[in-house]
Chain A
Amino acid sequence: MIMSKLFKKTLLIIIVLFAVVAVSTLLSSGWHIYNMLVAEYTSKGTAIARSIADSSVETLLNRDAATVQSMIDQFTEIAGVSYVFVVDAQGDIISHTFVPNVPSEIRDIGTSKNTAPVDIEIGNRRYIDISAPIVEGAVGFVHVGMDKGIIMSELLSSMMRQFYLLSIIFIFSAAAAYFLVSRVSQPLNKLTEYSRRLAQHDFSQSIEIKSKDEVGQLAGTMQSLANDLSEVFDRYEHALKDAVVELQSTLAYLTAVIDHMADGLLVSDVDGIITHVNPAMSAMVNMRENDLIGKYCGDLFGEGLAEIVQKSRHDPEEVYTIEIELAGGRTGKAVAAGVMQDYFPLEGGGKGIGAVVLVRDITTEKEVDRMKTDFISTVSHELRTPLTSVKGFTEIIRNKLEEDLFSKVTFTDEKSARALKRVRTNINIILSESERLTSIIDDLLDVAKLEAGKVQWKTEPVSVADVISRAHEATSALFEKKGLVFTKNVESDLPYVIGDSDKLIQVVINLLSNSVKFTESGSVTCTACSNGKEIVVRVADTGSGIADTDRHAVFEKFKQVGDTLTDKPKGTGLGLPICRQIIAHHRGRIWVESEMGLGSVFIFTLPVADVTNVAAESHSTNRETITHV
């Protein structure tokens, strides 16, 4: 049976304590017994001495030494009495029991008149000398010597008996204690072993202690705790397993997504070292994944990419793009964005841990773009050249006719006069139609350029009031021709907007000429005001108006609302789409409000420029050294 260390210690302490108690008990009882024995023997000796003294008065007085001798001799047979002697008043020993002669130590006591018991030593033996006076000491004294050795041996035997008793008690109690402690210790040992297993997360065992004491309660509590713990562990283990499975499937999903992306993906660390690429990326640069990972992206794709990787790291909100060369002379567009450690925010927000770069093969797009641009310029050139001849020669014909023929010849017959009139009219029609054709080509080019993103926009502070004035100047002839009234209502001190003034003038010209086109009589009103955030420009006419269903269509290409079979088309149908594109580029909005028969209001907004920017940019004036004829 294994005993717990705690109980071993306790048992040892109990034994030591018992030993201390036993020894001290033994000593104190020994001392007590010794005192009692001394007193007993002293009183015994006193009684003997007194009886001798009382009975020997006469004998002494008669100086019958032989009688005295015989009397005292019989006393020496009493247990404990060692010697008896009688001295007279002068201190001479009258009779004694010493054999063969009186020891010298006795002679000194004989002379003493003291009657108190005295310890003396004769030879190696110790005695208690008790004296009793005979007739108040007048006759002499009787001395009785009690042997101390007997006292000591009695004491010893008594002590031995006590010792044996204590030993027996000790052995029995120790055995009982050992047994008891072992019994208490056993469940504790079980408990200890059980808790050790619990600590090692072994919940398979159960503990069985049926006792109702603290140990039993402790075992019960521990068992229920262990059950709870085991349950919690099980639950967490399941949750962990589920989480791992989920994580693995998510990871597999993400990897599959990344690996099957059509675009190339490249991940770099903060130093621009490539840490991950997807198969599309490897294919684009015609290199194996292993040859890419661990390399500096600047070495593989040029410093431009390394630069945007660094930039994106410092400014994770921004997305940077650059064109890079791919394998086989193809071109890729790389888009870099910083990767932040969002999930483990450190002090002061997230920390850039690298950059992710998406690469798209834009070779085809670029080719298409180039072809589109080429097409635009080719069409522009090929159409304009014959148009120039048509327009130019017609103009020359007209001039020649007017100056050199019509002015010099007078037609008398009606037919000739009519023919002259017809020629004049038709030549003018050719001229105006060639003008129209020119503007259609211009508009087509504008739309194509806007859509292809080939327009070079100026960014300068623009005064909306100036824009409206210049647009009105350009269209004043139209107003005069149709006899319409133009009203301008522009708020003073309008803030600047940032943009391209020529393009904005084009917008207002388009809107004004549009209004004139569809207004037979009345007026066109242009107003401009600011609401703090943006400037709102309205061009209102008193024309035919636009039906609700057509309101969106007016901003679509080649759409002219109304019945195209009966109404003669006016313009190219491209003016408003161009306006929409230009306004959209300026981050503004354009729309129309209209009521059939009452007129239309075209409204556009432009965001107000930041005042601090205006000052800086107002220096970048637009040089116009070439005069446009």
Chain B
Amino acid sequence: MSKVLIVDDEPLIRILLEQSLEEFVDHGVSILTAENGLEAIEIIKKERPELVFLDVMMPKMNGFEVCNMVKKELQFKDICIVMVTAKGQEQDKIKAEEVGTDYYITKPFSIRDVINKVSEILKIEL
């Protein structure tokens, strides 16, 4: 059973992404949420999700740090990480690339695009 983790300090964004991925729940995908980087690391260690939506600007531990830690661990480095950020700046893209981010989306994003991307990654036809 696939697991998708949504990490964002904004509750509305978490809810939005949860609602967007609602349909995948019917296909046996469970959706987990975390509101900061530390919590995200704990959940990743415990639940080992296939896919993580990771916000960059968060308290306690930012998205880059989380991604960096995850990608360094051999057992977690296959986890697909999609960086979700309001910062569409070049240096952030470069930073994301450096820490091993797989995909990169900027707010505001299109729900349609997110759904398509998830179904591609999890290989689930809706």
Within 8 Å of chain B (Cβ to Cβ): is A104?
A: no
B13 at the interface (CB under 8 A from A): yes
Pick out which of these stretches binds chain B: A195-203, A385-393, A542-550.
Answer: A385-393
The minimal Cβ–Cβ distance linking B24 to chain A, given in whole angstroms, is 14
CB distance from B71 to the nearest CB of A (A): 13
Instruction: List, in ascending order, chain B residues with CB within 8 A of A442's CB.
Output: 88
Asked if B110 lies at the interface with its beta carbon under 8 angstroms from chain A, I say: yes
Partner of A628 from B13, B57, B105 at Cβ < 8 Å: B105
- State which of A380, A385, A395, A623 has its C-beta within 8 Å of the C-beta of B111: A395
B125 proximal to A (CB < 8 A): no
Chain A residue with the shortest CB-CB distance to B56: A381
Q: Does A592 contact B (CB under 8 A)?
A: no
- Which A residues are in CB contact (< 8 Å) with B93? 626
Contact with B along A367-409 (1 / 0, CB 8 A): 0000000000100110011111111110110010000000000
| CB <8 Å contact, A385 and B86 | yes
- Report the bound CA distance from A381 to B13 in whole Å: 13
Q: Are A380 and B110 in contact (CB under 8 A)?
A: no
Complex contacts, A629 vs chain B, CB 8 Å:
82, 103-105, 109, 113-114, 117
Give a binary string over B2-40; 1 marks a CB under 8 Å from any A CB, 0 the rest.
Answer: 000000001011001001100000000000000000000
Tell me, rounded to whole Å, the shortest Cβ–Cβ distance linking B115 to chain A.
Answer: 9
Q: A626-B101, A629-B114 are in contact. Are A387 and B87 (CB under 8 A)?
A: no
CB pair A392 B104 closer than 8 Å: no
CA distance A390 to B109 in the complex (A): 11
A455 CA to B104 CA in the complex, in Å? 19
CB distance from B62 to the nearest CB of A (A): 12
Decide yes or no whether B97 CB sits under 8 A from chain A: yes
**Segment 436-451 of A: residues with Cβ below 8 Å from B:** 438, 442, 445, 449
**Distance from A501 Cβ to chain B, minimum over Cβ atoms (Å):** 13
Residue from A385, A386, A449, A628 whose CB has the most chain B CB atoms within 10 Å: A385
User: Of A388, A449, A454, A623, which one neighbours B108 at CB under 8 angstroms?
Assistant: A388
Max count, chain B CB within 10 A of own CB: residue among A377, A387, A392, A628: A392
How many Å lie between the Cα of A269 and that of B88 in the bound state? 48
Give, as a whole number of angstroms, the nearest-CB distance from A204 to chain B. Answer: 83
Are B112 and A395 closer than 8 Å at their CB atoms?
yes
Residues 71-126 (chain B) with a chain A CB within 8 angstroms: 82, 86-91, 93, 96-97, 101-114, 117
Q: Return the chain B residue nearest A403 by Cβ.
A: B23
Residue of B nearest to A445 (CB): B88
Chain B residues with Cβ under 8 A from A527's Cβ? Answer: none
CB contacts (< 8 Å) of A384 on chain B: these are 86, 106-108
Contact check, B108 vs A434: say whether CB atoms are below 8 A apart: yes
> Is A388 within 8 A of B89, CB to CB?
no
Query: How many A residues have CB within 8 A of the partner chain?
Result: 30
Nearest residue (CB) in B for A454 is B89
A621 CB–B CB distance under 8 Å: no
B108 touches A387 (CB 8 A): yes
Give chain B residues whose Cβ lies under 8 Å from the Cβ of A390.
Answer: 108
Docked pose: A381 CA to B9 CA in angstroms:
13
Cβ-defined contact, B107 with A385, below 8 A: yes
CB distance from A581 to the nearest CB of B (A): 16
Residues of B within 8 A of A628 (CB): 104-106
Q: What's the dominant secondary structure at chain A's contact region?
A: helix
B38-79 contacts to A (CB < 8 Å)? 57
Whether, in the assembled complex, A531 has its beta carbon less than 8 Å from a beta carbon of chain B, the answer is no
Chain A proximity of B5: nearest CB distance (Å): 17
Q: Are B110 and A395 in contact (CB under 8 A)?
A: yes
Contact B19 A396 (CB under 8 A): yes
A449, B89: Cβ atoms closer than 8 Å: yes
Docked CA distance A442–B108 (Å): 11
Contact status A388-B103, CB under 8 Å: no
A456 lies within 8 A of chain B by Cβ: yes
B103 touches A627 (CB 8 A): yes
| B117: chain A residues within 8 A (beta carbon) | 629
Question: A380 near B88 (CB under 8 angstroms)?
Answer: yes
Contact with B along A444-487 (1 / 0, CB 8 A): 01000100001110000000000000000000000000000000
- Which residues of chain B come closer than 8 Å to A377, judged between CB atoms? 87, 89
Whole-angstrom distance between the alpha carbons of A629 and B97 in the complex? 14
Contact B20 A396 (CB under 8 A): yes
CA distance A449 to B90 in the complex (A): 11
Given contacts A380-B86, A380-B87, A626-B101, contact A399 B10 (CB under 8 A): no
Q: Which residues of B contact A381 (CB under 8 A)?
A: 57, 86-87
A625 within 8 A of B: yes
Chain B minimum-CB-distance residue to A381: B86
Distance between Cα atoms of A546 and B92 in the complex (Å): 39
Contact B108 A396 (CB under 8 A): no
Q: How far is the CA of A623 from the CA of B94 in the complex (A)?
A: 10
A396-B19, A445-B88 given as contacts; is B107 within 8 A of A388 (CB)? yes
Query: Which chain A residues numbered 397 to 442 have a C-beta less than 8 Å away from chain B?
Result: 399, 434, 438, 442
With most chain A CB atoms within 10 A of its CB, the pick from B86, B106, B110, B114 is B86
A132: shortest Cβ distance to chain B, in Å?
A: 158
The interface residues of chain A lying within 8 Å CB-to-CB of B106 are 384, 628
**In the complex, A122 Cα to B20 Cα: how many Å?**
179
**B103: which A residues are within 8 A, CB to CB?**
626-627, 629
Contact assessment for A626 and B13 in the assembled complex, using a CB-CB cutoff below 8 Å: no
Q: Are B10 and A385 in contact (CB under 8 A)?
A: yes
CB contacts (< 8 Å) of A380 on chain B: these are 86-88
Which residues of A lie under 8 Å from residue B13 when comparing CB positions? 385, 388-389, 392
CB distance from A380 to the nearest CB of B (A): 6
Q: B20–A392 contact, CB under 8 A?
A: yes
A618 and B7 CA atoms in complex are apart in Å by 40
| Interchain nearest-CB distance for A395 vs B (Å) | 4
CB of B105, distance to nearest CB on chain A (Å): 4
CA A381 to CA B97, docked complex, whole Å: 20
Q: How far is the CB of A578 from chain B (nearest CB, A)?
A: 15
A387 to B110, CA, bound (A): 11
How near does chain B come to A46, taking the closest CB pair, in angstroms?
A: 153
Q: Is the CB of B105 within 8 A of A388?
A: no
Q: Complex formed: what's the CA distance from A430 to B114 in Å?
A: 20
Which residues of A line the B interface, CB within 8 A? 377, 380-381, 384-393, 395-396, 399, 434, 438, 442, 445, 449, 454-456, 623, 625-629
In the A-B complex, the 8 residue pairs with the smallest Cβ-Cβ separation, listed nearest first, are A384-B86, A388-B107, A388-B108, A381-B86, A392-B16, A629-B105, A395-B111, A384-B107
A392-B16, A626-B102 known, 8 other contacts, Cβ within 8 Å: A384-B107, A385-B107, A388-B86, A388-B108, A391-B108, A393-B16, A395-B112, A396-B16
Q: What are 26 contact pairs spanning A and B, CB under 8 A?
A: A380-B86, A380-B87, A380-B88, A381-B57, A381-B86, A384-B108, A385-B13, A385-B107, A388-B107, A389-B16, A392-B16, A395-B110, A395-B111, A396-B20, A454-B89, A623-B97, A625-B97, A626-B96, A626-B102, A626-B103, A627-B103, A627-B104, A628-B104, A629-B109, A629-B114, A629-B117
